[in-house]
Amino acid sequence: MNIEGVEIKIEKTDRRKTASIFIERDGSVRVLAPVSSSDETVEKVVRSKQYQIFTKLAKWQELNQGKVNRQFVNGQSFLYFGRNYRLSIVDKQEVPLKLSRGYLTIDRNELDKAKKIFKLFYKEKALKKIAERLKLIEEKFQQKPASIKVMELQNRWASWTPKHGLNFHWKCAMAPIPVIDYIISHEMVHLKYPNHSPEFWNELDKKMPNYKEYENWLKQNGVKMTI
Q: Are 19 and 35 in contact (CB under 8 A)?
A: no
Candidates 3.40.50.300, 3.50.50.60, 3.30.2010.10, 3.30.70.260; CATH matching 77-224: 3.30.2010.10
Residue 126: closest CA among 151, 95, 163, 153: 151
Q: Which of 77, 188, 86 is nearest to 130 (CA)?
A: 188
Question: In sequence order, which residues have a C-beta less than 8 Å from that of residue 191 and are 6 or more positions away?
Answer: 141, 143, 144, 145, 160, 164
Tens of pLDDT, residue by residue over 53-79, are: 888 887 777 666 666 789 999 999 999
Sketch the domain layout of the chain as residue ranges: 2-66, 77-224
The pLDDT score that the predictor gives to residue 66 is 65
The string of pLDDT tens digits covering residues 167-215 is: 999 999 999 999 999 999 999 999 999 888 899 999 999 999 999 999 9
